[in-house]
Amino acid sequence: MDTKDLPILRVRWQLQFTKCSLKCPYCIAEWTKRPVNFDPERFNRIIDRLLEQPYRLVMRLGVEGEIFLSPHIQDGVIRLSHHPKVDGVSFSTNLMASDDKVKAFLDKADTSKIGIGATIHDTQITDEQKEDFFKRVEMVQKRGVLIYVGYVAKPDRFDYMREYKERLDAIGVPFLPNEYNGAFEHVPYPEAYTAEEREFLKSHFFADHYYRQLVEREVPRGKPCLAGHRYIYLGSDGRILRCGNERHLKWNLTQKVAWRVKEKWAEDMQKKRVKKREMGNILTDDLVLSDKPTLCPHDSCTCGNETQAIYSVGRDYHRTRTLRVIYSKADAAKMEEKYPNLKPLENDSCSLA
C-alpha cells in the first residue's frame, strides 16, 4: 500500500524533559519542581515503534520544558520529519534560543513537515528580547514551518493581544491565544470574562471551535471523537491513552465515600481506574484502536492539542501538520492567502464532507 493511502493517526506525546531557559511563575509544566524523566534510548525506541504502525503520523511532542536545550529531542524531530510515514511533527518552544541554534535545527529538518508553537512570555523577557523573538518567528516562517504564536489571554493583557495579532498577521503567522485559566483579582477565569471580553476573544481566536471549547467550555460528553480511533495520547513511558483527559477521571460515588474513610484508599482506586482504561504500552503491546470514533465520556475538553480530535471538527475545519492549528473550510482560500504556510493534509481520512 502506498504510504499516502494509510489513514492518519494523530498523536500527542508527553516527554517530561523538565528543563527550561526561563522561569515563568505561571509555568504549568512546573519544571523547577519536577525531575527530568527523559531517557534518550526509550525516546528513540518509542519513535521506532510508532513508525512501525500502519498509519501516517501527525505528532505533537509535549516537551514540558524547552526543546532547544535537548539535542536528543531535536534529533528525534529531525528524524521523524524525514520519514515518509510522517505528515507532521510539531512542538512548542519559548523561541529564546539563539538564531544560530534555531537555524542549525531547521537546516537538518524537513521544514515542510515541521510545526512550531512559539509562546511569547512577554512578562519574563526584555523589550529587546521580545523584538528578537518576533524576528526569529519571521525567520522560521520564511523557512516554510507552520509556526504560530501562542499567548495566554489574561484579562489585563488584551492590548498586547491586539498588538501581537496585528504584527503577526502582517507577516502571515497565526496568533493563537489560550484562555486564562485561574484566579485573577480573586475571581475565577475563564468564567469571569465579561460579555465585552468574550467578544474580543472571539474575534482574536483563530478558530471558533477553540473559542467555544476553551473560553465557553462547551461540554464534549457524548460527542463522537477521534480519541482512541485516530488520535491517541502517549505518556513519556510509552503508555497509551485515548486522550489526556483519561488521566483525570471524575471521582465516582464509591471513591467519594472511601475518601471520608481514608484519602489514600480513594486515590488508589483512582489509579486503578486510570490503569484499567489504558490501551497498553507502545513499547510492549500491539496498538489496538477502535474501528470507529468513540463517544466522549468527559465534561470538558480544553487541551489545545486535543480538542481538535472532536469528530465534527473534520467537517468544518482543515486540520494541519501542526496539531494545534485548524482553520475554517468556509474561509480556506482567504486564510491560505493570508497565512501562506497553512495547508490541509493530503488525503486526510479524518476530513469530513
Site residues, ligand SF4 (CB under 6 A):
20, 22-24, 27, 29, 31, 65-66, 94, 121, 220, 223, 225, 227, 242-243, 245, 296, 298, 301, 306-307, 309-310
Q: For the CB of residue 110, give the shortest distance to ligand SF4 in the complex, in Å.
A: 26
Provide the minimum distance between the beta carbon of 236 and ligand SF4 in the complex, in angstroms, as a whole number.
15
CA–CA dist 349, 184 (Å, integer): 42
Least Å distance, CB 18 to ligand SF4, is 8
In angstroms, give the least distance from the CB of 128 to ligand SF4.
Answer: 18
**Closest CB to ligand SF4 among 22 and 51?**
22
Residue number with CB closer to ligand SF4 (92 or 322): 92
- Minimum CB distance to ligand SF4 smaller for 270 or for 341: 270
Cα distance between residue 43 and residue 41, in whole Å = 5
Closer to ligand SF4 by CB, 3 or 21: give it.
21
Alpha helices in 5-149 (DSSP H): 40-52, 71-82, 99-108, 127-142
* Residue 276 Cβ vs ligand SF4, minimum distance, rounded to whole Å: 16
List Cβ<8 Å contacts ≥24 apart for 275-281.
277/241, 277/242, 277/246, 277/249, 278/239, 278/240, 278/241, 278/246, 279/228, 279/232, 279/240, 279/241, 279/242, 280/239, 280/240, 281/237, 281/238, 281/239, 281/240
Contact 201, 193 (CB under 8 A): yes
Helix axis angle, 99-108 relative to 71-82, nearest 10°? 30
Q: How far is the CB of 323 from ligand SF4 (least distance, A)?
A: 12
Provide the minimum distance between the beta carbon of 296 and ligand SF4 in the complex, in angstroms, as a whole number: 3
Q: Spell out the residues 6+ positions from residue 132 whose beta carbon is closer than 8 angstroms to its own.
A: none
- Nearest to 350, CA basis, from 26, 56, 34: 56
Please tell me what DSSP assigns to residue 214. I
Furthest CA-CA distance within the chain: 61
SS (H, E, C) 173-208: CCEEEEECCEEECCEEECCCCCHHHHHHHHHHCCCH
Q: Which is nearer to ligand SF4, 296 or 335 (CB)?
A: 296
Shortest Å distance, C-beta 307 to ligand SF4: 6
Q: Which is nearer to ligand SF4, 19 or 79 (CB)?
A: 19
| CA 98 to chain CA mean position, Å | 24
> Cβ 17 to ligand SF4, closest distance in Å?
10
Q: Which is nearer to ligand SF4, 61 or 258 (CB)?
A: 61
Pinpoint the alpha helices (H) of 262-338.
263-277, 313-316, 332-338
| Residue number with CB closer to ligand SF4 (91 or 339) | 91
Q: Which three cell numbers stand for residue 35?
A: 525531575
- The answer to whether residues 167 and 133 touch, using CB atoms and an 8 Å cutoff, is no
Q: For ligand SF4, which is the closer residue by CB, 260 or 275?
A: 275
Strand-pair partners of 54:
none
State which amino acid sits at residue 240: I
